[in-house]
Homo-oligomer: A and B are copies of this chain.
Amino acid sequence: MSKNIDDNDVKILNILQVDATRSLESIAEEIGVSLNTCWRRVQRLEAEGVLERRVALIDNEKVGLPLTVFVSVRTDDHSKAWADRFSDAVNQMPEIVEFYRLAGDVDYILKIMVGSVSDYDRVYQRLISKVKLSNVSASFAMEKMKFTTELPLGR
């Protein structure tokens, strides 16, 4: 934990990462500081970029996106040019919601959210039309058992 984040900051972050609609007044009361102090801390956390943004989370099933797919990618082309093209292609595709480069035998993992298996196939076809992938393996999620954007900050 960064040294410029104290106990009260953590309390504020823990409240806001559960519910960003909480009023400053109620947060101030809960953590035992004045409204003003609380406001200043939130401002500082935003200015420092600790608090990145506030977003609305949408129920993926209720908007017709019940299927989550994890895709493992291996490549034999480890050039920068290839990596850049892959990255650009992924960033143009809104169905790909997460994308990491990994250590180990799998080079990349993608998380894709779509309406159906055939929607997934269209996303897959579009992706491989943009960039050559030597070894791709898809795993379909049968059940979302936990999903949170809340980071473990301790108390």
Task: Report A's interface with B, CB cutoff 8 A.
Answer: 1-2, 5, 13, 16-21, 48-60, 62-65, 68, 70, 87, 90-91, 94-104, 106, 108-109, 113-114, 139-153
Task: Return A127 CB to nearest CB of chain B, in Å.
Answer: 13
Say yes or no: B59 contacts A50, CB within 8 Å: yes
Complex CA distance for A144 and B5, rounded to whole angstroms? 23
Give 30 CB contacts A-B under 8 Å. A1-B63, A1-B64, A5-B63, A18-B55, A20-B20, A49-B59, A49-B62, A51-B56, A51-B57, A52-B58, A54-B57, A55-B55, A55-B149, A63-B151, A70-B109, A95-B152, A97-B147, A97-B148, A97-B150, A98-B146, A98-B147, A99-B144, A99-B145, A100-B141, A100-B144, A100-B145, A102-B140, A103-B142, A109-B139, A109-B141
From B53, B113, B143, contact of A151 by CB (8 A): B113
Knowing A53-B57, A55-B19, A56-B53, say if A65 contacts B151 (CB, 8 Å).
yes
Which 8 residue pairs of A and B lie closest in terms of their CB atoms, listed nearest first? Answer: A16-B56, A94-B152, A99-B146, A101-B143, A100-B141, A1-B64, A99-B145, A20-B54
